[in-house]
């Protein structure tokens, strides 16, 4: 694991995820008012498709810039998942327990954090962008869970 990725995980570890959910403490995103709204948004086809498209675009840039490094993608994902999966479960366990979250909540967070780390792993090849911006909201105590409007125009939705 690259030192950059270790530093990213340390920053995420030290953050109090979800400490500011529902607080309208930003004008940079639309803030939802309940976990149910957040669960509904993160489960939406629109959000899932946007997150998948962001990952696909990142991969396309990697292939364009270094096919050799791109070939390592699956090995890096496998290695990272060993750390990320239990890490995310620990960080979300209270929300899962208290709010009986749907499986898509865990899957969405796992996807975000894995891709934040993949952006960090490949930052020498292509600069972090979409998923690093998601990490920002976790660190700030929110949950990024949707988009209003046609991407890239529009607004992020957070809880």
Residues 6+ apart with CB under 8 A from 93: none
Q: Summarize pLDDT for 65-89 with one digit per residue, the tens.
A: 999 999 999 999 999 999 999 999 9
pLDDT in tens, 91-133: 999 999 999 999 999 999 999 999 999 999 999 999 999 999 9
**Strand partners of residue 144:** 158
- DSSP letter string over the chain? --HHHHHHHHHHHHS-TTTTTT----SSEEE-S-HHHHHHHHTSHHHHHHHHHHHHHHHHHHHHH-HHHHTTHHHHHHHHHHHHHHHHHHHHHHHHHHHT--HHHHHHHHHHHHHHHHHHHTTTTS---HHHHHHHHHHTT--EEEEESSTTSSEEEE-
137-156 pLDDT, tens digit per residue, is: 999 999 999 999 988 899 99
Q: 14-43 pLDDT, tens per residue?
A: 999 999 999 999 999 999 999 999 999 999
Q: Give the pLDDT score at 151.
A: 84
């Amino acid at each position: 694991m690259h030192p950059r990725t270790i530093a990213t995980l340390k920053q995420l570890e030290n953050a109090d995820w979800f400490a500011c959910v529902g607080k309208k403490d930003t004008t940079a995103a639309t803030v939802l008012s309940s976990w149910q709204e957040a669960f509904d948004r993160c489960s939406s086809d629109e959000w899932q498709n946007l997150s998948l498209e962001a990952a696909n675009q990142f991969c396309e840039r990697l292939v364009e810039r270094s096919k050799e490094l791109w070939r390592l993608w699956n090995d890096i994902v496998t290695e990272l998942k060993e750390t990320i999966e239990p890490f995310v479960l620990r960080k979300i366990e209270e929300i899962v327990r208290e709010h009986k979250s749907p499986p898509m909540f865990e899957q969405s967070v796992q996807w975000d954090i894995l891709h934040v780390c993949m952006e960090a792993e490949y930052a020498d090849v292509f600069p972090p962008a979409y998923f690093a911006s998601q990490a920002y909201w976790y660190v700030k105590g929110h949950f990024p869970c949707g988009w209003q409007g046609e991407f890239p125009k529009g607004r992020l939705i957070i809880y």
